[in-house]
A and B are shown apart, each in its own frame.
Chain A
Amino acid sequence: MNHPRRIRRLILLAALLGPCVAQAAGRPPALPESEIKAALVLNFARYVEWPAAALGGADAPYVICHMGQERLGAAFAALDGRMLKGRAVRVRVGVDPADARGCHLAFLADTPARGLMPVTRALATQGILTVSDLDGFIDAGGAIGIVPGEDRLQFEVNRDTLDRAGLTASSQLLKLARSLIGKGH
């Protein structure tokens, strides 16, 4: 019977041509996901207001704390030294969630052993903006979650968490969010 052979040849052809098609349809290389995420976090800090007491003196830096395994650590470290709203940005990588004093923003790269909820709650009580790309982050009490769209990144915001942390997000940020939860929407 010819059919199985013909089908096998077709599949082989498709597999061999695949790479060629890819090159031909070549799009300009998209930016690495890690760098986009780090850049998004920088922008979140730009559009969120911390209470004056949390910020310290006029020259005190914004402290961004990366928590968890090394995943995305390098991309965050690259933000160190940038200027944000007239202050410098300082990045601490591999911070323990229990040791978050001095952080303004915490990015959780990993699920803590105790689970997300106790950690997001504790960090919110300390007035820290919690951001992550973990699935279901804002449902677990996180403030901003980076979520995948079809082929780009989006974000969603938990307004109750922002309230609990004493933070204010600008209306511009909320408008760009794909979804909002909390505070009776």
Chain B
Amino acid sequence: MKRLRGAWLPLFLLLAVLAGVPRPAAASAGQSADSAADLSLEDLLNTEVVTAARKPESLHATAAAAYVITHEDIARSGATNIPEALRLAPGVEVAQIGNNRWAVTVRGFNGRFADKLLVLMDGRSIYSPLFSGVMWEFEDTLLDEVERIEVIRGPGAAIWGANAVNGVINIITRKARDTQGELAVAQAGSDLPGQLAYRHGGETTDGYYRAWGKAFAHDASVDAAGQRGNDYWRSARAGFRRDGASGAGSRYVVSGEAYASPTGDRWNLADVAAPSGHDATNIKLVGQGGHLLGRREWQDEDGADSALQSYIDYQDIDAQGEIRQKRTTVDLDYQRRLLLGARNDFIWGVGYRYSRDDIVAQDIFTFTPQRASQTLASVFVQDEFALVPDQLRLIAGARLEHNNYTGLEPQPNLRAVWTPTSRQSVWAAASRAVHTPSRADESAQLNLLVIPPDPPQSPLPVLLRTVPSRDGLTDSEKVNTFEFGYRRQLAATLSLDAAAFYSRYNNIRSAALSSRQVVLQPVPYVLQLINPVAAIDAHTRGFELTVDWQPAPEWRLQPSYSYLDVSGFTSSSDVAVQSDALAQNGTAPVQQISLRTSWTPGARQQWDLWLRHVGRLENADGVGTPIAAYSTLDARFALRPLPALELSLVGQNLLRDRHVEFAPDLLPSVMLQVERSFYLKARYQF
């Protein structure tokens, strides 16, 4: 195995930190115990605590491969947006394509519009039905708003719905009562000329509220040749949240956000008249929109807990001169949880979502029809049965969904968790999930690229155009997954969490060569049509391991490792489909390693180092572009000179000047590099 390039540096740093760690002060146990309990309540509330951090609910009895990224994790990692924060979870592949674009997935099949991951923000789906993916650049909420991010690897379809094929990411924002007072944040650095944010929180007659605003400007990065790209990123965003109580035991939340975000990109637009087959064109992609969400939770006489949630979401994405999508989504959801007898924990729900779009397309895009709507109706049930109370629980659940593309889709799952002691647990799961076609799958025509002429075999340029085929996509993608996991608390300061899985995919979308004709205008060329067909099967297997170790009260180490093997195969005789099937093997890094070390010498200082290694991609974009393996180091130093003021200095991607993490897929963006960067952040809270 090749040694990690530049491994000496992080190792040296670790040693340096180790050498400098002071001996833990000999605790005069009895004396300090007395002193704490002798203090008045006011004094106790004013005593400095070194590691004041939320204790998340234990995952000990969770029958799934779950990981919770806490608010503190995000703050200490130096992450500036949600995709960067997602790297904290094991098994999540996050590749930065450009300053304003990411490819995020779990357990394989990554892409800018990776379509196997369902992402929710406070229960609102931010997964766009246009291309079946998440446009992370327009989901850039105030990071300080985030309470935690729950990452569940493996199908979460039974509870969360279709398209949670490989996992679910649930981003949960902080309660209004936790964000009281004033907060001002200013940030500037090498890549980030400026970011300013302000938040105000206060009380209402029946609860709490907050309102915030944020604006930033991000510079462009460089392309493979070292030239400055066009991926600038600007954003202005504002939001609010109000929490209240309405009568005995019932609570409500109302929240909303609005944003306007111009971003840049450079596309190699397919052009038969150009000698190279494409025109590199600067594109301005403007995203605007907002949402309003309301949720009410209450308890019934018989102890059942109910929740009713509704939201409306509007999004206008305009790639000027190419494509503009305006979309309005309305969703209504109801859930009820009740305990049946001493052994059953039963939860059921119904939901309805309606999404309507208006797409104006030109040049390389055509959408037919221009206007369409998608409806999704669903019902789910899940029962948790205590087979042996406090030791063995069985969970059976299923979700039945109806969508207007593929009809009725059942998604069942079966899980079991055994907790022989309070320090160990073993779980297993079998589930089935479905991925439904996107609007683009059904309606989009796209001029992908031009293969320049290659005489004498191919005297004319060949334009590859993908066209929708109604016959090809009546079937949704299906996956059956078997998982197994083990959690163990080895000591009060050492715990581990391991999960292994095997997944079998059917009907993965591929592209088959269709008709071919010669066109004479504007210049003679061959038009080769490509039809999407659901013709590829695949299986993936792998495991993820994460360890949490606290060798000393002020020092915490979190190593994690993930392994993934993807193989695709097909029974089709089409050459394009066959090579696509083989190409699946190289689309995911085989290994990802992460090591975080956090050192907190006092209540006023924080030191964090985060070393990551991502394995090689043989074939990042499905057409053969390899991406070399890379290691990267992020470092953060934070100081609190005043109780209300925190200053932090963060360096990202420190090991190399620049490196490439992914090759753009689907949209013809120019490949860009991720650069070494620094930023300074001041956070004033009063």
Contact present for B492 and A71 (CB under 8 Å) = yes
Contact present for A31 and B604 (CB under 8 Å) = no
Contact present for B41 and A40 (CB under 8 Å) = yes
Contacts of A118 in B (CB 8 A): 339
Contacts of B352 in A (CB 8 A): none
Contact present for B20 and A121 (CB under 8 Å) = no
Q: Which of B18-39 contact A (CB under 8 A)?
A: 19-22, 25, 27, 32-33, 35-37, 39
Q: Taking the nearest CB of chain B, how far is it from the CB of A81, in angstroms? A: 11
Q: Taking the nearest CB of chain A, how far is it from the CB of B360, in angstroms? A: 45
Q: Is B13 an interface residue (CB 8 A)?
A: yes
Q: Assess A12 versus B47: contact at CB under 8 Å? Given A31-B36, A153-B52.
A: no
Q: Which of A11, A68, A182 contacts B245 (CB 8 A)?
A: A182
Q: Assess A185 versus B207: contact at CB under 8 Å? Given A82-B37, A134-B55.
A: yes
Contacts of B60 in A (CB 8 A): 111
- 1/0 contact trace for A15-55 toward B, CB 8 Å? 11011111101110111110110111011001100000000
- 1/0 contact trace for B215-257 toward A, CB 8 Å? 0000000000000000000000000000011011101000000
Q: Is B404 an interface residue (CB 8 A)?
A: no
A154 to B41, CA, bound (A): 10
Contacts of A154 in B (CB 8 A): 45
A179 to B262, CA, bound (A): 39
Q: Taking the nearest CB of chain A, how far is it from the CB of B411, in angstroms? A: 24
A176 to B245, CA, bound (A): 20
Q: Is B291 an interface residue (CB 8 A)?
A: no
A176 to B44, CA, bound (A): 11
Contacts of B207 in A (CB 8 A): 181, 185
Q: Assess A69 versus B249: contact at CB under 8 Å? Given A152-B52, A185-B244.
A: no
Q: Assess A25 versus B602: contact at CB under 8 Å? Given A8-B9, A179-B180.
A: yes
Q: Taking the nearest CB of chain A, how far is it from the CB of B163, in angstroms? A: 27
Contact present for B603 and A27 (CB under 8 Å) = yes
- 1/0 contact trace for B316-344 toward A, CB 8 Å? 00000000000000000000000100000
Q: Which of A8, A26, A33, A184 contacts B206 (CB 8 A)?
A: A184
Q: Assess A19 versus B55: contact at CB under 8 Å? Given A36-B47, A117-B305, A181-B207.
A: no
Q: Taking the nearest CB of chain B, how far is it from the CB of A129, in angstroms? A: 15
Contact present for B48 and A181 (CB under 8 Å) = no
Q: Is A58 an interface residue (CB 8 A)?
A: no
Q: Which of B19, B22, B245 contacts A183 (CB 8 A)?
A: B245
Q: Which of A146-171 contact B (CB under 8 A)?
A: 147-156, 160
Q: Is A57 an interface residue (CB 8 A)?
A: no
Q: Taking the nearest CB of chain A, how far is it from the CB of B345, in angstroms? A: 7
Contacts of A150 in B (CB 8 A): 52, 640, 643, 685
Q: Assess A36 versus B33: contact at CB under 8 Å? Given A134-B57, A185-B245.
A: no
Write the chain A residue with the least CB distance to B177: A179
Q: Which of A7, A136, A152, A185 contacts B47 (CB 8 A)?
A: A152
Contact present for B657 and A3 (CB under 8 Å) = yes
Q: Which of B27, B45, B654 contacts A153 (CB 8 A)?
A: B45
Contacts of B9 in A (CB 8 A): 8, 11
Q: Is B3 an interface residue (CB 8 A)?
A: no
A27 to B641, CA, bound (A): 12
Q: Taking the nearest CB of chain B, how far is it from the CB of A118, in angstroms? A: 6
A20 to B236, CA, bound (A): 41
Q: Is B573 an interface residue (CB 8 A)?
A: no
Q: Which of A133-152 contact B (CB under 8 A)?
A: 133-136, 139, 147-152
Residue among B13, B205, B251, B492 with most chain A CB within 10 A: B13
Write the chain A residue with the least CB distance to B422: A69
- 1/0 contact trace for B398-431 toward A, CB 8 Å? 0000000000000000000001001100000000
Q: Which of B34-67 contact A (CB under 8 A)?
A: 35-37, 39-42, 44-58, 60-61
Contact present for A30 and B602 (CB under 8 Å) = yes
Contact present for A75 and B33 (CB under 8 Å) = yes
Q: Is B637 an interface residue (CB 8 A)?
A: yes
Contacts of A79 in B (CB 8 A): 37
Interface of B toward A, CB cutoff 8 Å: 9, 12-13, 16-17, 19-22, 25, 27, 32-33, 35-37, 39-42, 44-58, 60-61, 148, 175, 177-178, 180, 203-208, 244-245, 247-249, 251, 303, 305, 339, 345, 386, 390, 393, 419, 422-423, 492, 553, 599, 601-605, 607, 609, 635, 637, 640, 643, 651, 654, 656-657, 676, 685
Residue pairs across A and B with Cβ atoms less than 8 A apart, 17 shown, are: A1-B657, A4-B657, A12-B16, A18-B20, A22-B602, A30-B50, A32-B32, A33-B50, A33-B52, A36-B44, A43-B40, A115-B345, A134-B56, A151-B49, A153-B47, A178-B180, A184-B247
